[in-house]
């Protein structure tokens, strides 16, 4: 017996009420992917900054000169 239509019709309710919404697992996957992209850009910028600093360091005369 369904009490006020709340119990026993989960599949029907999910198919109609939540059909246009993103599922929790899809949302979590999307957030993980967005986080990866954001971190990849930051890591790329950090690596480029390190490379630029390393080139500047190597191009200088250094401690003892040449």
pLDDT above 70 (res 1)? no
Residues 8 and 2 sit within 8 Å (Cβ to Cβ): yes
Convert the pLDDT of each residue in 17-52 to its tens digit: 777 888 889 999 998 888 777 788 888 999 999 999
* pLDDT at residue 13, rounded to an integer: 74
Average pLDDT of 11-19?
A: 74
Burial letters 35-66, b for 16+ CB under 10 A, else e: eeeeeeeeeeeeeeeeeeeeeeeeeeeeeeee
- Return the higher-pLDDT residue of 62 and 11: 11
- Return the higher-pLDDT residue of 58 and 2: 58
Q: How confident is the model at residue 54 (pLDDT cuts 50, 70, 90)?
A: very high
């Amino acid at each position: 017996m369904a009490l006020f239509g709340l119990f026993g019709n989960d599949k029907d309710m999910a198919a109609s009420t939540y059909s246009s919404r993103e599922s929790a697992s899809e949302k979590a996957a999307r957030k993980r992917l967005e986080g990866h992209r954001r971190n990849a850009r930051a890591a790329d910028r950090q690596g480029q900054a390190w490379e630029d600093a390393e080139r500047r360091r190597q191009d200088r005369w250094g401690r003892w000169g040449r």
